[in-house]
Structure 1
Amino acid sequence: MSGPDVPLAPPVRAGDPATRLDGLPVTRRHVRLLLGSGVGWTFDAMDVGLISFVIAQLAVVWGTDATALGWVASAGFVGMAVGAALGGLLADRIGRRQVFALTLLVYGVATGASALAGSVAVLMVLRFVVGLGLGAELPVASTLVSEFAPPRIRGRAVVVLESFWAVGWILAALVGYLVVPSGENGWRWALALGALPAVYAVVVRRGLPESVRFLQARGRHAEADRVVAELEASRAVGHGGLTGAQVRDGGRSDGAGAGGPVAATAVETGADAAVAPAVETAADAPAAGGRPRLAELWAPTLRRRTAALWLVWFAVNFSYYGAFIWLPSLLAADGHTLVRSFEYTLIITLGQLPGYAAAAVLVETWGRRRTLAAFLAGSALAAGLFAAASGDAQIVGAGLLLSFFNLGAWGALYAVTPELYPTRVRTTGAGWAAGIGRTASVLAPLAVPQLREAGGTGLLFTVFAAVFVVAALGALALPERTGETLT
């Protein structure tokens, strides 16, 4: 009796693993990687979103003033700033998958422990620890997906990953609406649900592959080849899969393997293979050997993109977290009941999903830079409309627009960030950009009470609109790398 078409142990093929990886069609293992990373991303967003509902209830049940509550939110963002910077460096040294699983464990356990906090001080300390895990997880997960995705859809894959943020934020809004107002301890039950990532960390550690490019950069070529061979043996989505002979033959369905993996991709997907992707020159990449260092991000060929990227991350974080962390509290302060404030926040949050969908299409048609700048300009317009809104319908409408444009901008930002750096310092670059951004997310919750006291919600959102304009200008200074091969 003949054996199966695809052997249980995928055959080892000749050729550079990264080149073979880029030539693959989208397989079921690609989808599993995206979904596995996306679930972690969902938990991350749910945790960040929950704190906005928690601080709104603590103002009632504990009588905590706005300044102290601002520090509760900011403590988590301090941890995220530290975690993003350290997590990126660590992932470039020990691997993306290892750090991803570790971060889920850290913030899952710390979030569960936060449900037992008996004072603002204890809650602040635990939120800092939560932030360490959250901050490290986001750039590492986006880099992992970026390094696996075929170049022609890499930006779209990262935006789809980022769209799981909307799923998590919507879950947070549902928990906030249904659980937090249920009683004085509603916020505790809400945070207890945030312990789920600790369990999921085991799944991540066992189920997700390590980055092929990381393995190659660390000299672990046999492992890199094995990961690619498993992907080559996986069934292609929408193409009926590949036989074992076709895997060995470069994935061609016609039996002619001379074209190699790149030609195979054109046959499998209908992609235009006539235009070869641009590749960074050797001068663009820091020298190989030794451990990755922060100073390498400021090499002559990288310093302009690093400066522009840090500016964009800082500005986007300031306006996004300043607006959305305080949104339920701002609505309550403007005269709405706590339940109505949570209801409006839930409705506004729904605008995130179509924003991601639009960005996922445009990053591959318009390009990363143009999409990012356009969505940031839209965010500025929406923030201005929110500043001028007077009735409930106008507030919800402007909030929906802000969700649409702002979260679409986040998707484009996560798509472009890992592409700007070579493999050796990719998560270092992404992590430090996120870390710089998190310093703004620390400042924003502290600045909101002062800005609102000085000029009300109108002044507050006018400031956010101006900062979005700065972010859009910074985005225009970034290089465009749509469709290029990662180095």
Structure 2
Amino acid sequence: MNQIRTLEEMPLRKFHFQMFFYTGGGAFIDGYIIGIIAVALAVLQPQFDLSLTTVGLVGMAALVGMFFGGILGGYLTDLIGRKTMFILDLVVFVIASVLQYFAQDPMQLIILRFILGLAVGADYPIAGTYMAEFAPKKNRGALLGGLVALWYVGYGVSYLVGYFMLALGEDSWRWMLASSALPAIIILLARLKMPESPLWLASKGREKEANGIVQGIFGKNVVLSESFEAEEKTSFMDMFKNGYGKWTIFIALFWTLQVAPSFAIATYIPEVLGLFGFADGNKEYLGSAIMSLFYIVGLFPALYLVEKIGRRPVLIWPFLVSAIILTTLGLTSSWHMSFAFTIMLFVIYGIFNTGMSIHQWIYPNELFPTKIRGTALGFGTGVSRIGSSLSTFLFPVILSKYGLGVTLYICAGLFFIGFLVSLVMAPETRNMSLAETSTLNKRTNKLSYQSNSGKKII
């Protein structure tokens, strides 16, 4: 007789890897549209004679859209279902991507980039909740964190596509921006075959349908869970109630404190290296390329360690190391250190900084129950994008007014605050089921679950 196993106890199978790439498509597209606009603007700016303000608006439009898309999309994901939003989201993305080709003035392009941002922002909570709710508990952290890698892949691919499309002439920017429709169509077609999340179905009182999906994929001896959350309505404000408010604050803080200095430095790294004294001979561009290649390396040890030693240390100590390295770079910024020494410090910073970024997908999906999991992840996405937009806008202002050293000290200070926040607030969720991780805030309270047989479990 085969032993009954739960969805979260299943070992990794082909289905899990399919889910990883289908859900990670959103992260790929996010990286792609952020990267491709940088190349397209090089052609677009002289053609339309854009002012620096307009260039900034075109560049920021998608990030601002992600704020609203994350918050609204996360709530709708919990309200009407993962798969429904997964499909609608990609349809909007394909249409907006294609329409960019026909933009006749900068305002039309800003509006379309904002709409793209709405779609990408919405995809974060959809993809994250989907992956979390199918993942084995022993591999959930690595699978969720691994989605970050696809962002970097999309970002890198966009530069290659943009580079080769430059040969298309003055209209090359149109083809560059419209090209994001191609990966979106591929991912959309793949997502049509995906099932609805069983955990979401169960949270809506459709446990029979939920178990039917689980057994159709994994076999008759597999059930959704030994216990499932009682049916409850989705409410946006629930992420601030019943003890979940502290997790909402924690996620908004650590996520923003990680991406704000990271996005700013990454955006202006050639200029930063130039101020270190490497502006001659294109060394600033060579250094930027070297660092970009090494940054993704930081993901692999982090994905291993997050399951081996836990979530907390893989978040806490990279925050501290990043703060120390940037402080050191600030101190040595006027010492005329060698190119190799400076690049080595930036590479170390990048590896640790990239490594801790995997928690952007892990903690929001683990710390909230199914009914508000997407809402919480969407809120974190939105707040962090506002933080990254402001830091990217303010970085050159601070740099020109106060100098390189002070600018790097400010970035180091943000990472150090992130270290303190994580040290005090970050929980450990390794090897726990979603039922356990989403009730860490209620360990001292009575919490009832409903078993598959209908029995209440206290």
Question: TM-score of the superposition, structure 1-length normalised?
Answer: 0.78
Counterpart in the other structure of 1:243? none
C-alpha distance in structure 1 between counterparts of 2:40 and 2:160, whole Å:
13
C-alpha distance in structure 2 between counterparts of 1:184 and 1:332, whole Å:
30
Which among 100, 109, 112 is matched to residue 123 of structure 1?
109
Output one character per residue of 1:221-262: Cα deviation in whole Å (capped at 9) or x when no partner: 2331222113314xxxxxxxxxxxxx54x6xxxxxxxxx999
Counterpart AA for 1:356: L
Counterpart AA for 1:359: A
Output one character per residue of 1:189-235: Cα deviation in whole Å (capped at 9) or x when no partner: 322221224312432432222211101111222331222113314xx
C-alpha distance in structure 2 between counterparts of 1:54 and 1:261, whole Å:
47
**Is 2:151 the counterpart of 1:165?**
yes
Q: Which moved more, 1:327-336 or 1:30-39?
A: 327-336
Output one character per residue of 1:2-25: Cα deviation in whole Å (capped at 9) or x when no partner: xxxxxxxxxxx997xxx7211212
Distance of aligned partners of 1:324 and 1:61 in 2 relative to their CA distance in 1, 3 Å threshold: farther
Which among 56, 71, 88 is matched to residue 102 of structure 1?
88
- Indicate if the aligned counterparts of 1:383 and 1:402 stay in contact, CA closer than 8 A: yes
- Indicate if the aligned counterparts of 1:155 and 1:360 stay in contact, CA closer than 8 A: yes
C-alpha distance in structure 2 between counterparts of 1:133 and 1:123, whole Å:
15
Counterpart in the other structure of 2:207? 221
Counterpart in the other structure of 2:138? 152
Deviation, structure 1 residue 458: 3.9
- Indicate if the aligned counterparts of 1:24 and 1:150 stay in contact, CA closer than 8 A: yes
Output one character per residue of 1:333-362: Cα deviation in whole Å (capped at 9) or x when no partner: 988599876654443222232111011011
Counterpart in the other structure of 1:36? 22
- Indicate if the aligned counterparts of 1:312 and 1:475 stay in contact, CA closer than 8 A: yes
| Other structure's SS at 1:207 match | coil
Deviation, structure 1 residue 137: 0.8
**Is 2:217 the counterpart of 1:231?**
yes
C-alpha distance in structure 2 between counterparts of 1:21 and 1:301, whole Å:
27
Counterpart AA for 1:84: G
- Indicate if the aligned counterparts of 2:295 and 2:350 stay in contact, CA closer than 8 A: yes
C-alpha distance in structure 2 between counterparts of 1:115 and 1:386, whole Å:
42
Counterpart AA for 2:83: R
Output one character per residue of 1:38-87: Cα deviation in whole Å (capped at 9) or x when no partner: 23322221112223334455556655444433222222111000000011
Counterpart in the other structure of 1:271? none
C-alpha distance in structure 1 between counterparts of 2:38 and 2:280, whole Å:
15
**Is 2:454 the counterpart of 1:468?**
no
Deviation, structure 1 residue 176: 4.5
Counterpart in the other structure of 2:258? 316
**Is 2:398 the counterpart of 1:451?**
yes
- Indicate if the aligned counterparts of 1:173 and 1:342 stay in contact, CA closer than 8 A: no
| Other structure's SS at 1:481 match | coil
Output one character per residue of 1:138-175: Cα deviation in whole Å (capped at 9) or x when no partner: 22212211111111111111112221112112212333
Counterpart in the other structure of 1:486? 434
- Indicate if the aligned counterparts of 2:260 and 2:391 stay in contact, CA closer than 8 A: yes
Which among 347, 351, 356 is matched to residue 294 of structure 2?
351
Counterpart in the other structure of 2:360? 413
Distance of aligned partners of 1:438 and 1:393 in 2 relative to their CA distance in 1, 3 Å threshold: same
Counterpart AA for 2:392: P
Deviation, structure 1 residue 115: 4.1
Deviation, structure 1 residue 304: 1.7
C-alpha distance in structure 1 between counterparts of 2:70 and 2:125, whole Å:
7
Please report the RMSD computed on the Cα atoms of aligned residues, expressed in angstroms. 3.3
Which among 170, 182, 192 is matched to residue 196 of structure 1?
182
Output one character per residue of 1:119-142: Cα deviation in whole Å (capped at 9) or x when no partner: 433322221111101111122212
| Other structure's SS at 2:192 match | helix
5+ long unaligned stretches in structure 1: 1-12, 234-246, 251-259, 263-276
C-alpha distance in structure 1 between counterparts of 2:428 and 2:70, whole Å:
24
Q: Which moved more, 1:292-301 or 1:108-117?
A: 108-117
Question: TM-score of the superposition, structure 2-length normalised?
Answer: 0.83
Identity among equivalent pairs (%): 29
Distance of aligned partners of 1:347 and 1:119 in 2 relative to their CA distance in 1, 3 Å threshold: farther
Counterpart AA for 1:486: L
Aligned residues: 428
**Is 2:235 the counterpart of 1:293?**
yes
Counterpart in the other structure of 1:137? 123
Which among 64, 85, 98 is matched to residue 78 of structure 1?
64
Q: Which moved more, 1:348-357 or 1:143-152?
A: 348-357
Q: Which moved more, 1:408-417 or 1:79-88?
A: 408-417
Output one character per residue of 1:411-433: Cα deviation in whole Å (capped at 9) or x when no partner: 12321221010111111111111
- Indicate if the aligned counterparts of 2:214 and 2:224 stay in contact, CA closer than 8 A: no
C-alpha distance in structure 1 between counterparts of 2:96 and 2:127, whole Å:
20
C-alpha distance in structure 2 between counterparts of 1:261 and 1:425, whole Å:
19
Counterpart in the other structure of 2:442? none
Counterpart in the other structure of 2:453? none
- Indicate if the aligned counterparts of 1:146 and 1:418 stay in contact, CA closer than 8 A: yes
Alignment of 1:287-436 (within 5 A): 288-290=231-233, 292-327=234-269, 344-384=287-327, 387=330, 388=332, 392-394=339-341, 396-436=343-383
Distance of aligned partners of 1:74 and 1:370 in 2 relative to their CA distance in 1, 3 Å threshold: same
Output one character per residue of 1:415-470: Cα deviation in whole Å (capped at 9) or x when no partner: 12210101111111111111111211221232123122213444433322221222
Distance of aligned partners of 1:178 and 1:197 in 2 relative to their CA distance in 1, 3 Å threshold: closer
5+ long unaligned stretches in structure 2: 436-458
Distance of aligned partners of 1:396 and 1:364 in 2 relative to their CA distance in 1, 3 Å threshold: same
Counterpart AA for 1:209: P
Distance of aligned partners of 1:303 and 1:142 in 2 relative to their CA distance in 1, 3 Å threshold: same
